[in-house]
Amino acid sequence: MFRFIVKRLFGIIPTLLIVSILVFLFVHMIPGDPARLVAGPDASYEDVELVRQDLGLDKPLVTQYFTYMSGLFQGDLGTSMKTKRPVFDEIADRFMPTFWLTIWSMVWAIIFGLLIGVISATKRNKWQDYTGMFTAVSGISLPSFWLGLMLIQLFSVQLGWFPTGGNDSWTSYILPSITLGAGVAAVIARFTRSSLMDILREDYIRTGRAKGLKENIVVWKHALKNAMIPVVTMTGLQFGFLLGGSIVVETVFSWPGLGRLLIDSVSYRDYPVIQAELLLFAFEFILINLIVDVLYGIMNPQIRY
Amino acid sequence: MKEKLLEITNLKTYFFTDTGQVPAVNGVDFYIHEGETLGVVGESGCGKSVTSLSVMRLLTDTPGKVVDGSIRFKGKDLLSLSEKEMRKIRGNEIAMIFQEPMTSLNPVYTIGEQIGEAVKLHLKYNKKEAKNHVINMLKLVGIPRAEEIINEYPHQLSGGMRQRIMIAMAMACNPTLLIADEPTTALDVTIQAQILELMKKLKKEKATSIMLITHDLGVVAEMCDRVIVMYAGKVVEEAEVTEIFDNPKHPYTKGLLNSIPKLGQKMDRLDSIPGNVPTPANMPKGCKFAPRCSQVMDICKENEPDLIQVEDGHKCRCFLYQNEMARVVN
Ligand SMILES: Nc1ncnc2c1ncn2[C@@H]1O[C@H](COP(=O)(O)OP(=O)(O)OP(=O)(O)O)[C@@H](O)[C@H]1O
Ligand SMILES: [Mg+2]
């Protein structure tokens, strides 16, 4: 297991190199001229060219890439064109709010998703199942901007329980994390339900009952551990998506996170920030995949690394 | 006089499916004495497994339901027990071994955990006592390296080993009745013989009553004291094991015996009886076996015979003998 993890960690490096090339190409293909944006709309042609030289954007793409990568290996992500601050600081400021929002959303999503999924599977075709699946379908199909605005309207504007935006206290986490978690909870619920229903038909479930075990133990111990194996993979993916920061939810709740940073830097053609963010997302995804694989091995004894 | 441990009367278990009602077990009567091994034979689909699942009340998660009859075990009516009372019987007083050893163990828990669980539940052993007991049970069923096997997972073991594990699990709480549903069908011939030997040995040591379900009349001859023959959800013949082999009455039993292969050989198809088991959709009106019967009479197509005593301890469901009896009475 330890050797597997070390091997996989080393495997991350080539993957990230390839990703970095793709990201670099992709970012420079975004239409629009950052030099023009930095210099301002009234700047003369000469001024714009000066800015371009200043930013190093006049050099061939390959040279730019190597300059960027050599900086990266020294831990230098460059400077934001917009704020002139180090990109590292820009991202560090925004990472934590998104990270904690993700954690809270996942906590809700896992608790409610699992509960709804298990109840629906064990009470299938009864009212509990129909209610659970109706909730889940709503969770998937409600647009999150709408859900967010409704929650703000009800709990912030009318009842005044929570702030309408920002992340100044723990209460400001509640509404955005519910908004963000709803969709994930719905996906987890549906996945858990179908996976658990399949497992409950297995012969070893009947063996468990034949031993005289309580139905709760049969479901929560014997069935759920098997049913969770596919659910864990899916939950990991969702976690990865949320870590990237949700543009919609962060905008609705004026959340100072990575999602809004991304949209701002794209509209400003702030190449270094966009690149750094995309590389970070790729790294997070690869890391989460590794964690999921390790968990998978822990849960499923038939897999040996 | 021997005591009846299990007595089933007029048991009816139906499945309520989208395509209609399936009378899988349709009025089954039989009993098992203390310490006795009862063989239950019949072709695939005649309701053997459903009968045993009805006794265990394990039809949860299927569309099946016991609709009529009674199941008395040690004088208690199992059908009227609460789920909680029933749980104290399952795995404790009545244990079951299933047809499918490869899939009947949970892949994500160790062998020790899976057997120990029942032991802790019913015998109230603590962790250490349970562990020792499990190791002893594994040794009893002939598992080598028992101390190591308890930490292994099912996929690390062969089919024969898994069936031994299932037997160890079933016997762990010293049940009075063991229901073995084709315990050897999925195994190859040499392993089959070993498993049967093992069950015989356990029966001798523990005086357990066994309900042994099988396709295989060879296994019956080897293991059983008494036999019931089932056809289309009903018992068609019941007799001592020697009587069944020497003096079979029902044409279906005779057909089965004619198709008997050598002992230990697998028997999945019974080629010597022409035709097929009737499906619920085209269930014959009279005797369910009539369409395949070589001695069929007019009455068989109209009416269904009762299971009646034809000789001492020998019952048969066939008009051939009922007329004979009727003649004697007249
Ligand atoms: N879950 C189920 N849903 C619907 N019908 C079922 C179900 N289980 C069993 N049946 C019906 O009950 C009938 C009897 O099945 P059962 O499993 O008792 O046969 P069996 O005698 O054990 O056969 P085999 O020798 O193949 O194990 C089958 O013909 C089938 O139609
Ligand atoms: Mg069966």
Asked whether residue A129 falls in the same domain as residue A53, the answer is no
Longest CA pairwise span in chain B (Å): 70
Count how many pairs of residues, chain A against chain B, have C-beta atoms within 8 Å. Answer: 72
**Is there a domain that residue A84 lies in?**
no
Distance from CA of B114 to the nearest CA of A (A): 9
Test B109 with A222 for CB contact under 8 angstroms.
Answer: yes
**Is there a domain that residue A82 lies in?**
no
Test B89 with A212 for CB contact under 8 angstroms.
Answer: yes
Beta bridge partners of B211: B38, B179
Provide the CA B205 distance to its chain's centre, in angstroms.
21
Asked whether residue A105 falls in the same domain as residue A247, the answer is yes
Asked whether residue A132 falls in the same domain as residue A190, the answer is yes
pLDDT (0 to 100) of residue B225: 93
Asked whether residue A16 falls in the same domain as residue A131, the answer is no
Task: Quote the domain boundaries for residue A55.
Answer: 2-73
**Is there a domain that residue A126 lies in?**
yes
Test B89 with A208 for CB contact under 8 angstroms.
Answer: no
Chain A residues within an 8 Å CB radius of B166? 207
**pTM given for the model:** 0.83
**Is there a domain that residue A299 lies in?**
yes
pLDDT (0 to 100) of residue B330: 43
Kindly list the distances between the CA atom of residue B177 and the CA atoms of B35, B158, B185, B241, in Å, as whole numbers in the listed order.
9, 26, 20, 19
Tell me, what DSSP letter sits at residue A165?
Answer: S
Test A300 with B105 for CB contact under 8 angstroms.
Answer: no
- State in Å: Cα B236 to ligand 2 middle: 18
**Is there a domain that residue A272 lies in?**
yes
Which residues form the pocket of ligand 1, taking CB atoms under 6 Å from any ligand atom?
Answer: B 15, 17, 22, 24, 42, 44-50, 62-64, 99, 215
Q: Which two tokens stand for residue A125?
A: 């075709």
**Is there a domain that residue A292 lies in?**
yes
Suggest the residue from B89, B94, B108 to mutate for an interface test with chain A (most A CBs closer than 10 A): B108
Asked whether residue A48 falls in the same domain as residue A113, the answer is no
Count of domains for chain A: 2
Asked whether residue A100 falls in the same domain as residue A227, the answer is yes
Distance from CA of B158 to the nearest CA of A (A): 14
**Is there a domain that residue A86 lies in?**
no
Mind listing the pLDDT tens digit for each residue in A242-298?
888 788 888 888 888 888 888 888 887 888 888 888 888 888 888 898 888 888 888
For tokens 């700047």, name the residue.
A43
Other Cβ atoms within 10 Å of B126 Cβ, number = 8
Q: Is B316 exposed, middle or buried (0-12, 13-18, 19+ CB in 10 A)?
A: buried
Cα separation, B117 vs B106, whole angstroms: 12
- Among the partner-chain residues A204, A299, A302, the one whose CB lies closest to the CB of B104 is A204
ipTM: 0.86
Per-residue burial over A136-172, b = 16 or more CB atoms within 10 Å of its CB, e = otherwise: beebeebebeebbeebbeebbeeeeebbbbebeeeeb
Mind listing the pLDDT tens digit for each residue in A178-223?
889 999 999 999 999 999 999 999 999 999 999 999 999 999 999 9
Asked whether residue A6 falls in the same domain as residue A120, the answer is no
**Is there a domain that residue A11 lies in?**
yes
Asked whether residue A23 falls in the same domain as residue A111, the answer is no
Share above pLDDT 70 across residues of chain A, in percent, rounded to a whole number = 99
Cα separation, B199 vs A151, whole angstroms: 65
Provide the CATH number for the domain around residue A216. Answer: 1.10.3720.10
Test B106 with A208 for CB contact under 8 angstroms.
Answer: yes
Mind listing the pLDDT tens digit for each residue in B100-154?
888 999 999 999 999 999 999 999 999 999 999 999 999 888 888 999 999 999 9
Q: A38 versus B231: which is more confidently predicted?
A: B231
Confidence category of residue B272, pLDDT binned at 50, 70, 90: low
Q: Is the pLDDT of residue A68 over 70?
A: yes
Asked whether residue A42 falls in the same domain as residue A116, the answer is no
User: A167 touching B, CB under 8 A?
Assistant: no
Contact A148, A249 (CB under 8 A): yes
Asked whether residue A133 falls in the same domain as residue A61, the answer is no
